[in-house]
Amino acid sequence: MSDLLARHLARSGTSVVETIDSHAAGEPLRVVVSGYPELPGATILEKRRAARDRWDHLRRALMLEPRGHRDMYGCLITGPATADGDLGVVFLHNEGYSTMCGHGIVAVVTVGLECGLISPRDPGAIRIDTPAGRVVARAYLEGERVTAVSFRNVPSFVLHHDLEVAVDGIGRVRCDVAFGGAFYAFVELTCNPELEGLELSSDRCASIIELGRRISAAVRETVEIAHPEGDADLGFLYGTIFVAPSAAAGVHSRNACVFADGQVDRSPTGTGVSARAAIHHARGEVALGETLVIESVIGSRFEVRAVAETTVGERTAVIAEVTGSAFVVGHNRWLVDPEDPLGRGFLLR
């Protein structure tokens, strides 16, 4: 610690939170290294509740302005909640705490291994306990550098096929509601003439956010969102994902995901492409083992394939495997001054 920082802390009583910042396919992940209390709880869902109920001011301080922004995303690494687990994770965003995060798994494995934060028994089978359940990741290494990460997700399944909802200002919109670690409404533009003209590009984010909010609200008002076997904390619609064809060679389609409080995913959304694997497999459009390349609003890509069939309750489900890459972009030491009236975070937009 520098003498300047030490003097500042002694003078003001300011606390310090250290993070390592990264991105996977353009979507940020701020991994907390120190300065966060140890989360109590026997399960990751219990740890998630403790973070929400007791230390939410720290999430706000790290995710929101002036240290973050509306689209910041974060991760707390915890001890595992299972006897054979390597680590646990709790994911943070502008509104609260997600149940699973695919880009977050890619990034936290990359950060964890490259920066020495995790020491799994086997880099080829890293057992991660998430609020949604067990995820197993594989890191591809060149020396000490992680070049890519694949992970086998919790079971993904379709909850509602061809659901039609009345959306304020738009009309009837057709969608599928599916789970890939979180629930999303999937809206294919080619199946919805009311949305003709919407471009899934970075310069149309304002329109994408507005429409995504409306559709999410309509789905929540129309159907019950409940996981057939999971905890009640999993039973909520996380957001809306728009799907459109892609003109890029070798790319199946494009995703634009609006989640939480109007966040736009820069990545293709790991939980989203997992749920899409379940949707396409249920329709008979892709076989087990067939790889789909899906791009985001900025053109970044994830690969996804359904590798096995399973069931969730009475529903047919698949195990999806997602592959992507992440990069470390900074090491940071954040100061949280109790006398700063804006220190616990705010949002302008």
Task: Read off the pLDDT of residues 128-172 as tens digits, 9 standing for 90 and up.
Answer: 999 999 999 999 999 999 999 999 999 999 999 999 999 988 999
For residue 78, is pLDDT > 70? Answer: yes
The alpha-helical segments, DSSP class H, found in 115-260 are 205-222
The answer to whether 345 and 61 are in contact (CB under 8 A) is yes
Length of the chain: 349
Residue pLDDT, tens place only, 286-296: 999 999 999 99
pLDDT score for 196: 82
CATH of domain 3-152+328-336: 3.10.310.10
For residue 72, is pLDDT > 70? Answer: yes
pLDDT score for 15: 86
How many CB atoms within 10 Å of residue 251?
Answer: 16
Q: Find, among 204, 193, 200, the residue nearest to 171 by Cα.
A: 193
The answer to whether 65 and 332 are in contact (CB under 8 A) is no
Give mean pLDDT, residues 90-117: 98
Spatial distance between the Cα atoms of 246 and 266, rounded to a whole number of angstroms: 16
Give mean pLDDT, residues 32-55: 97
Spatial distance between the Cα atoms of 306 and 313, rounded to a whole number of angstroms: 19
Read off the pTM: 0.96
pLDDT score for 159: 98
Q: Is 344 helix (H, G, I), strand (E, B) or coil?
A: coil
pLDDT score for 117: 97
Domain boundaries, the chain: 3-152+328-336, 156-323
| Four-way CATH pick for 156-323: 1.10.620.20, 3.10.310.10, 1.20.120.1200, 3.40.50.12280 | 3.10.310.10
pLDDT score for 197: 87
Q: Is 115 an annotated catalytic residue? A: no
Percent share of the chain, pLDDT over 70: 97
Spatial distance between the Cα atoms of 78 and 32, rounded to a whole number of angstroms: 10
Contacts of 323 (CB under 8 A, 6+ apart): 148, 149, 150, 302, 303, 304
pLDDT score for 5: 66
Q: With bands split at pLDDT 50, 70 and 90, how would you rate the model's confidence at 88?
A: very high
Q: Kindly name the residue from 75, 101, 175, 257 that is annotated as catalytic.
A: 101
